[in-house]
Structure 1
Amino acid sequence: MLFRQLEYLVALARERHFARAAQSCGVSQPSLSEAIRKLEEDFGVPLIQRGRRFDGLTAEGERVVVWARQILADRDALRGEVDAMRTGLSGRIRIGTVPSAATAVPRLIDPLCTRHPLLTAQVMADLASTDVLAMLREFSIDAALTYLDDDVRAAFRVVPLYREKYVLLTDAAWAPVRGESVSWAEAAALPLCLLTTAMRGRRTMDAFFAEEGAEPVARVETDSFASLIAHVVPGRWAGIVPLAWIHALGVPPGVRAVPMADTSPAPEIGLVACRREPESVTVQALLAAAREVDLRPLELLPRMRMPGPDRTRGSGQVGP
């Protein structure tokens, strides 16, 4: 009963709405409200601020939610370990990722699920880097692919995977881009489609532009790398994307991919998980897979292949 009460309270803290919280738990709203009321009786303090609608948690409620998330995560980890001892690793692992690393996630999930065929994965892509860390702390996800800043390394268990390198996409016939690489200052002079300034990837790129004294003017801004690539295809704009996306999607027909020249050390992408003892067996398995896989090829421009044996380069062009 206690676990169910804690689940309802966590759902209410997440949804901030009684009806939505009840729906997410698969119960009626009166059942959810009654379970939380009994939890308040057990603790002897109010946990939610009651009004005509949900008005938030009390200070005591906020602390109970922090403990509840950890208790529920430990319960799930315990169940997973017992099941693994009986039938092998099973259940579901939840992985979050920042947009730039979304195409790298399958390279971890494939060997993980090959080794543990009863295990399933849920991937939450396009998360802001701040949201990734918050979801890890709240046990909403089990692990994540994100940028390995110093504060992340200090607070979480990390497995470095690769350095994020970038590529300029332009119309294949565009005269201004002729070399084997392009500088950030040269790219800033082009009509660009870029990520929105709210995204970590855009802020990283802006820092590279600033190092060369350049101020790009984004003719189009988007919060999606897939959308960015689609805007390059008609030929009006150029775009800058992580090389990992080219490894996954290739270069569209009529588009040329030119590596961006290296400047300061490229940001590092890694697998991140909470430091917990004992550690979830599913997270242990994912960390093991991450240590074994080599993602450093994502730092290099891939050689495109056409269908059939020994045919290289698709209709999109790579390099000069």
Structure 2
Amino acid sequence: MIDKLEFFIALAREEHFGHAAETCGVTQPTLSAAIKQLEDQLGVMLVKRGSRFQGLTPEGNQVLAWARRIVGDTHAMHDEMRAARHGLSGRIRIATIPTALAMMPRLTTPFREKHPGVTFSILSRTSIEILSLLGNFEIDAGITYLDNEPLGRVTSVPLYSERYQLITAVGNPYSGRETVSWAEVSRMPLCLLTPDMQNRRIIDQHLSDSGEQVRPTLESNSMILLFSHIRTGKWSSIMPLNVAETLGFAEPIRAIPIVEPDASHSVGLVTTPREPNTPLVAALVDEALSLSRTLRAEN
């Protein structure tokens, strides 16, 4: 039954019989037969029939929610028994918003020192993608904004508050300032993250609240590319200070706090609400709580 549920989850994710079979390491006829057997066992149609995948039936969507829960709990049980025998091991899959990438070593490094048998897979994704991956059990945890857009059903651990700085080259008209307002920043040639990033939507809102329209002259989903353009002296950007410092913040680049208002947004760890958690996720949550206490003490 578990194998059939895993095949069904893969089909719902891939929306293609051939691709789902490939991800599961079986042939397409094997996967199709398993889905048909699952339908026979449950007594309902799960997939809209046709020459191609046409979506799930209403009953299929109900079963999908149960399948994710059952498969997740089964994997958690196996992980807990393995941890009891051999100690914590395995791979943790984390997706993070781009502006939190600079903080990740403060979470992963002490975790791995405590649990050397654990490895990490870390992806840079938008906040919307993170919630989708989490809901589909394709990642174990995410790092995202906690207080700006709806999160749905997740368990969260606040880590730090993201505050915004004008990142600009020395020689810019504002480079000698101690602070700069959002209204002043809005009139500069800006390079910003792409609109699919929640960081960009947050910045757009603060710029709009200042009474100005946002007119970035360059957009990218790469923080490194943005920073390389700042270094030319022709562009400025808006970034959290920790990102600029990690990317090599130094002269001739300046980071100037943006005020009026001094805006901040909470960033933290999110996981699926499950009791008990898998041993890996439980240990990660413990590490996140420890990091949260450390960051609060530093600030």
Structure 1 residue 106: deviation in Å?
2.2
Structure 1: give runs of 5+ residues left out of the alignment. Answer: 300-320
Residue 16 of structure 2 corresponds to which residue in structure 1?
A: 17
> Which residue in 2 is equivalent to 1:314?
none
For residues 150 and 195 of structure 1, the distance between their equivalents in structure 2, rounded to whole angstroms, comes to: 17
Is 1:284 aligned to residue 299 of structure 2? no
**Does structure 2 retain, via aligned residues, the 8 Å contact 1:69–1:139?**
yes
Residue 43 of structure 2 corresponds to which residue in structure 1? 44
Shift of 1:30: 1.2
CA distance in 2, matches of 1:233, 1:297: 33
Residues 37 and 153 of structure 1, relative CA distance in 2, 3 Å threshold:
closer
SS at match of 1:158: strand
Would the aligned equivalents of 1:162 and 1:298 in 2 still touch at CA under 8 Å?
A: no
CA offsets per residue over residues 29-49 of structure 1, 9 Å max, x none?
111111111111111222111
The residue that corresponds to 1:7 in the other structure is 6
Cα separation, 2, equivalents of 1:155 and 1:295? 26
* 8 Å CA contact retained: 1:95, 1:121: yes
Q: Distance in 2 between matches of 1:44 and 1:291?
A: 45
C-alpha distance 247-295 of structure 1, shift in aligned 2 (>3 A): farther
Once residues 298 and 130 of structure 2 are traced to their aligned partners in structure 1, the CA distance between those partners, rounded to angstroms, is 22
- The answer to whether residue 102 in structure 2 is matched with residue 109 in structure 1 is no
Match of 2:154 in 1: 156
For residues 1-320 of structure 1, the aligned pairs below 5 Å read: 2-125=1-124, 127-149=125-147, 155-251=153-249, 254-261=252-259, 263-293=261-291, 294-295=294-295
Query: Aligned partners of 2:260 and 2:157: how far apart in 1?
Result: 23
Distance 2:112 2:140 in 1: 16
Q: CA deviation at 1:81?
A: 0.8
TM-score (norm 1): 0.86
Q: Find the aligned partners of 2:288 and 2:101 in 1 and give their Cα distance.
A: 15
**Separation in structure 2 between the aligned mates of residue 259 and residue 165 of structure 1, nearest angstrom:** 8
Q: Secondary structure at the match of 2:5?
A: helix
- Separation in structure 2 between the aligned mates of residue 298 and residue 74 of structure 1, nearest angstrom: 37
TM-score normalized by structure 2? 0.91
Deviation at 1:286, TM superposition (A): 0.6
Q: CA deviation at 1:274?
A: 2.0
Q: Distance in 2 between matches of 1:101 and 1:234?
A: 25
- AA at the equivalent of 2:295: L
Q: For the residues of structure 2 that align with 1:106 and 1:72, how far apart are their CA atoms?
A: 30
C-alpha distance 212-168 of structure 1, shift in aligned 2 (>3 A): same
**Pairs aligned (count):** 297
